[in-house]
Structure 1
């Protein structure tokens, strides 16, 4: 049993390094200040999600009624704006928006392990977890101390994975975000999550404040088939 436990811890560390960058995290700069959640005034509902063009719009499943849109400031920027939209009939309504971060080297349409860029695309959101107790997640929540960031990382990163939502990029749905299985192969990377923010870019994940993570966990509903649409603004608009 001790060997099995060691294997689980080792797999968890691989996933954590893939998402958050391991020891290199200590070299992160302070980045921009994280703004308080922007509880936007009600906007008029629209037939299309603003800023999302035909290429990515066509990849949103027909049954999806919740979209987390991550608008990267630029292809080489680590800064992003995150917006939750819900669909009622044929109309998309902007529910709430806030600031966050993406990969420290920006965005890519061909993500590779270790490139420090977030993948552009549309991905389902199926599973969540973290160090902390379930805050009332609508998604299946996998609590484990194995999510904890190594204490060899900078202290500012220790709570990155207190709450996470797995982005279904190169992973098996219906499993813990810590599951290391990568269907497209190791070279395509993995372990890409929505997680708590430390004030600067990530290794490929999307990060936001604890309050925003709690809000998403309590709001995303599997029955509404939530997805994330993510990328820099130029790629999103294509």
Structure 2
């Protein structure tokens, strides 16, 4: 599915907007809800061991591994695609992302990838500019990016526009961060472009929390994955499967 971004891109250009504040969102200043840029030299947290979610077995599971009752109870009963982001620990930027697919009454591990989250780790009370990713369960409704949706096409509504491009005063390693994005429905309006700056809970709660392309270090609050992972998810996530993301550090996920 494809939504043309031509008119919106033209409006952005006409207004001379600098584009994309932090992990996403159009507009000048910090109106996108995150800091102006990530630190390309940010180091990952090192405490604790990298989780090995669903190590054995990987199919026929009654429950999604390492997700406790508190968050599991918030996964909609209709969801048949759950993207689990297993953060290394509360202050780490390293995580593992696993796509769990429900088949009948059981869950199968469909794919997994190494990933990054907020450079300062995780929080249950995300605030604009805190450089932490929000813990919780969020729907996945809309996608977009600089590039066209990958063949044979994205399942989620896809908004292609040059308006996603990271400004070139950011480090070169970050220029392709938003070639592909999937909006995480935290403090945003579902059914709109990921670049929509509307923040229903107010600006102080941040926003523009996305899945996007990885640049090798922590983000301003988003979750970043390799290009191949983003292409796979864009082709695979389907509105009819009610996809959600459950995300957080090991302790909060397991609570």
Structure 1's unaligned 5+ residue stretches are 33-39
Distance 1:164 1:3 in 2: 20
Match of 1:92 among 92, 97, 107: 107
Match of 1:198 among 215, 218, 222: 215
Aligned length: 230
The answer to whether the aligner puts 1:79 opposite 2:94 as a matched pair is: yes
CA distance in 2: counterparts of 1:5 and 1:131, whole angstroms: 14
Cα displacement (A) at 1:44: 2.8
SS of alignment partner, residue 229 of structure 2: helix
**Shift, 1:12, TM fit:** 4.0
Q: 1:10 aligned to 13, 17, 29, which one?
A: 17
Q: How far, CA to CA, are the matches of 1:168 and 1:5 in structure 2?
A: 23
Pairs within 5 Å for 1:45-124: 45-124=60-139
The 5 Å alignment of 1:157-172 reads 157-172=174-189
Q: Using the alignment, how far apart are the partners of 1:5 and 1:194 within structure 2?
A: 23
Cα deviation for residue 89 of structure 1 reads 1.8
The 1-side partners of 2:34 and 2:176 are apart by 11
Find the counterpart in structure 2 of residue 29 from structure 1.
42
Distance in 2, matches of 1:142 and 1:86, equals 25
Q: Which runs of 5+ in 2 are unaligned?
A: 1-6, 46-54
What's 1:143 paired with?
A: 160
Aligned to 1:231: 248
For residues 64 and 50 of structure 1, what CA distance do their matches in structure 2 show?
16
The structure that is helix-richer by fraction is: 1
SS at 1:160 equivalent: coil
Corresponding position of 1:35:
none
Q: Are the structure 2 counterparts of residues 237 and 180 from structure 1 closer, same or farther at C-alpha, using a change threshold of 3 Å?
A: same
**How far is 1:13 from its partner?**
2.9
TM-score by length of 2: 0.84
